[in-house]
Structure 1
């Protein structure tokens, strides 16, 4: 397991065109197991998910993201596919649908790299947004 520094940028645009962007620098861990690469980091107050641990699992054609702690969720990003899940928050559990537009990543032998995901979210019919997530492994 290798300690890495991460720069995480998230952009969300709602249906009214309002944009919200966050940028987070944090320490994480990267390791490989079989054909998968795992990235683990702690969320902070900046992301609005303080008290959560996020695990990103990279495989050939898909990326999964699991959160544990104060919020619980699992999202699978696979280009062109819809994924339905439950999003557990302190305020209740919501049905969430994710449609992945684009995923791409590259990780070097030195364990540096970039992960880029573009996706659409529908949260129980109450909120819809277009999202971009970029993770830079330094």
Structure 2
């Protein structure tokens, strides 16, 4: 297990063009298990998920993001595929549909790299947005 610095950038664009962005720099851990690479980090107040640990699992054709702690959730990203999951919100648990437009990652032997995901989200058909998530491993 290697200690790494992570820069996490998220951009959410609603259907009416309103943008909401977040940027977080935090310490994390990187390790390999089987054919997958894992990134683990603690959420902070900035992300609105303080008290949660996030694990990002990078596989050949799939990226999954699991949160544990105060809020529990799992989102699976597979290019061109639509997945449905339960997503906790301050208003209760909602059905969240995710359609992954594009995704990929590169990680060097020096444990530096980048994870990029572009996806569309629909929360019970009420809130819809296009999202970009970028994780830089520094």
Q: TM-score range by the shorter chain?
A: over 0.9
**CA–CA distance in structure 1, aligned partners of residues 42 and 15 of structure 2:** 29
Match of 2:16 in 1: 16
Match of 1:104 in 2: 104
Match of 1:77 in 2: 77
Match of 2:31 in 1: 31
- RMSD (Å) for aligned C-alpha atoms: 0.8
**CA–CA distance in structure 1, aligned partners of residues 60 and 79 of structure 2:** 12
Q: Structure 1 pair 90/19, CA: closer, same or farther in 2 (3 Å)?
A: closer
Aligned-pair CA distance for 1:70: 1.8
Please state whether the residue corresponding to 2:46 is helix, strand or coil.
helix
**CA–CA distance in structure 1, aligned partners of residues 25 and 94 of structure 2:** 28
**CA–CA distance in structure 2, aligned partners of residues 35 and 60 of structure 1:** 8
Match of 1:56 in 2: 56
Aligned-pair CA distance for 1:90: 4.4
- State whether residues 70 and 90 of structure 1, in contact with CA within 8 Å, keep that contact through their aligned partners in structure 2: no
Please state whether the residue corresponding to 2:25 is helix, strand or coil.
strand
Aligned residue pairs: how many?
A: 138
The TM-score with structure 1 as length reference comes to 0.97
Match of 1:118 in 2: 118
**CA–CA distance in structure 2, aligned partners of residues 49 and 120 of structure 1:** 21
The TM-score with structure 2 as length reference comes to 0.97
**CA–CA distance in structure 1, aligned partners of residues 88 and 20 of structure 2:** 22
Please state whether the residue corresponding to 1:46 is helix, strand or coil.
helix
**CA–CA distance in structure 2, aligned partners of residues 4 and 87 of structure 1:** 28
Please state whether the residue corresponding to 1:13 is helix, strand or coil.
strand
Aligned-pair CA distance for 1:91: 3.1
**CA–CA distance in structure 2, aligned partners of residues 137 and 5 of structure 1:** 6
Name structure 1 gaps, 5 residues minimum: none
